[in-house]
Amino acid sequence: MSPAGPRVVTRRAHAKINVFLRVLGRRDDGFHDLESLVLPISLHDVVTAEVGGPGEMSLQVDEAPGSAERVPPELVDNLAGRALLALAERVGGGAEAPGASLTVDKRIPVAAGLGGGSADAAATLLAVNELWRCDLDRVVLAEIGAWLGSDVPALLADEPVFVAGRGERLTPVHASSVWWVVKPFGFGVSAADAYGWWDDDPITGPDTGVLIAALETGDVQLLGDALFNDLQPGVVSRHGEIAETIDAFLEAGAFGAIMCGSGPTVAALARHIGHADALAAAVPGSIVVSGPPAVTLPIPGS
């Protein structure tokens, strides 16, 4: 580490949509082998890391409005906090680490299937790596991220990626930016529950070549027809409002609609931003996003 690094580093932590989620089966270690295309979207948290006293670590979380669940503010209970501690251990730990004060401005709903906690962990690794001038490359950060959670390596990539294994094997995918509308709910679904329900009725979706080609070319008609999520039937059977919301989007003219990740958020595909605005008006409480983000603006205050 170099002592000449910046005093404050701010990073966006982008939410994600799983354009498809194909579950292949439970592994001996209790995780599941899967295939998915993880698409970062414009909805994001903001993670700010500031140099602290030697060996001192702290975390402040500014809650997302309307979140179904509270974000744990303690370092060891929060994915961003655990990312900070893991990086400190990797580079020396204890009094040898320069210390950091971490602030997470939550905008992504919690336990929504949008990867908010994993995105915060990924942004923390990137921000503190820069703050402390660790000079760790993305491969090393991804190794740390995989230990923290299956979605963290994909969200470290900060671009569309095809993921395999339990999420640690990544292949970049070119994707034209398209418009989506996401509808969160006032309750959360744990990934452990969603995968457990899949185990009760393990059905694996189709080959994904057509879907990936549609995303690469921006063919929203073909993409909408091909969306699927193997976790969706098990979650929907227990939360009927998800199916009702999917139907509402389709009736309003969406090209397709799907549950995000382990749920419960629903994402609907639009032709363009005006179409997305109309879908959001038809389903109250929805948020218009682009994925990958169509425009990158400066972070306020950075």
Catalytic residue numbers, as ranges = 16, 151
Q: HSE-up of 102 (CA within 13 Å, CB side)?
A: 34
Q: Of 38, 58, 37, 41, whose CA–CA distance to 49 is shortest?
A: 58
**CA 108 to mean position of chain CA atoms:** 9
Closest to 31 in 3D by CA, of 136, 182, 160, 169: 169
- Please say whether the beta carbons of 61 and 73 come within 8 A: yes
Contact 220, 270 (CB under 8 A): yes
The DSSP line for 121-187 is HHHHHHHHHHHTT----HHHHHHHHHHH-TTHHHHHHTS-EEEEETTTEEEE-----EEEEEE--SS
- Collapsed DSSP state (helix, strand, coil) of residue 7: coil
| CA neighbor of 108 nearest in space, from 176, 17, 242 | 17
Q: Which tokens hold the place of 260?
A: 């995000």
